[in-house]
Amino acid sequence: FIGYSTDTKLIGRQFASSVTGVVLFPQARGSMRVIQQQFGSQNHVQDLVVYETLKKEVPKLPEADIILFTSPSNVIVYCHAKKLAPNQRVIAMGSATGNELLRQGVEYYTLVNSFDDSGLAQAVFGM
């Protein structure tokens, strides 16, 4: 199964409707489990925690014109270490990352249209 949307709930519903067996979901401790929650029966879902995201001391961050955030935890760590400058352009890979940007007070960001090279290029060059 390959999903073709950035709407994780939609992808989860589409995936769940095609599953007849049990699906293993390797994931981080504390995962939001958005895909798994779209399954009508959790009997088809097997979670496996394989890593944990840890906060650590961030070295001095370089200046950048464009900042790409790939996860909510990236946003949290960066925003605690450094304030975004008004002239910096921000890209979010997914709505969960975008929502965390909003929680951190970042009102203007670009959400990618797809989770691939093309979606990223469109977000960067379309700014």
Residue 106 is predicted with a pLDDT of 95
CA 86 to CA 61: how far, in whole Å? Answer: 16
pTM score of the predicted model: 0.77
Instruction: Give the start-to-end residue ranges of the domains of the chain.
Output: 8-51, 66-125
CA 54 to CA 89: how far, in whole Å? Answer: 26
CA 49 to CA 78: how far, in whole Å? Answer: 24
Residue 4 is predicted with a pLDDT of 86
Give the residue ranges of the chain where pLDDT is below 50. Answer: none
**42 φ, ψ to 5°?**
-75, 0
CA 18 to CA 100: how far, in whole Å? Answer: 31
